[in-house]
Amino acid sequence: MSETTEPGSPRVGGTVLGSTDPRRLWEWYRDVFAPGLTRDGAEDGGPVRHLRLGGTYVVFEARDDVGRKSVEPGRVLVNFEVTDIREMERRLDAQLNPRWIRPVETVDEHVLLGTLEDPDGNYVQLCDTTADGTPA
């Protein structure tokens, strides 16, 4: 995708994921996207945790106005650009056994996509634009 904003336009600073169990959700995202990370990003054990990924934040916040599971998980997909999506798929299958909503597949000659479900039922999309598009 090409950038279409003008200088000085707003940019997405982060994504907030409200949860009844933000620590569980934070741990899952940490295991998926930052498996070597040990610090949890919470201030003094407070209710808000975060991960800084690719120059933006994913924030995990305790909320009492959300259910334990998302009722419309396809409404908003958080998309993460990754490298070596096939290796990531193998690691996730071995370590987390996630529910794949859309298995990793070739979208065009340079893009592989896959969508999985996080513990709260949100859909998380993985996109690899560094791939050659050859199925593994």
Judge contact between 126 and 82, C-beta under 8 A. yes
Give the separation between CA 29 and CA 21, rounded to whole angstroms. 13
pLDDT of residue 126: 97
Query: Whole-prediction pTM value?
Result: 0.84
Give the separation between CA 2 and CA 129, rounded to whole angstroms. 13
Per-chain mean pLDDT for the chain: 87
Judge contact between 126 and 116, C-beta under 8 A. yes
CATH superfamily of 69-136: 2,3-Dihydroxybiphenyl 1,2-Dioxygenase, domain 1 (3.10.180.10)
Between the CA atoms of 98, 102, 103 and 109, what dihedral angle is there, to the nearest 10 degrees?
A: -140
Domain 13-67 falls under CATH 3.30.720 = yes
Q: Which two tokens mark 135?
A: 């199925």
Question: Residue ranges of the domains in the chain?
Answer: 13-67, 69-136
pLDDT of residue 88: 96
Q: Looking at the predicted structure, is the pLDDT value of residue 97 above 90? A: yes
Q: What percentage of the chain carries pLDDT values higher than 70?
A: 85
Q: Looking at the predicted structure, is the pLDDT value of residue 79 above 70? A: yes
pLDDT of residue 134: 60
pLDDT confidence of 2, banded at 50, 70, 90? Answer: low
pLDDT of residue 11: 81
∠ CA(130), CA(133), CA(136), 5° rounding? Answer: 105
Q: Looking at the predicted structure, is the pLDDT value of residue 46 above 90? A: no
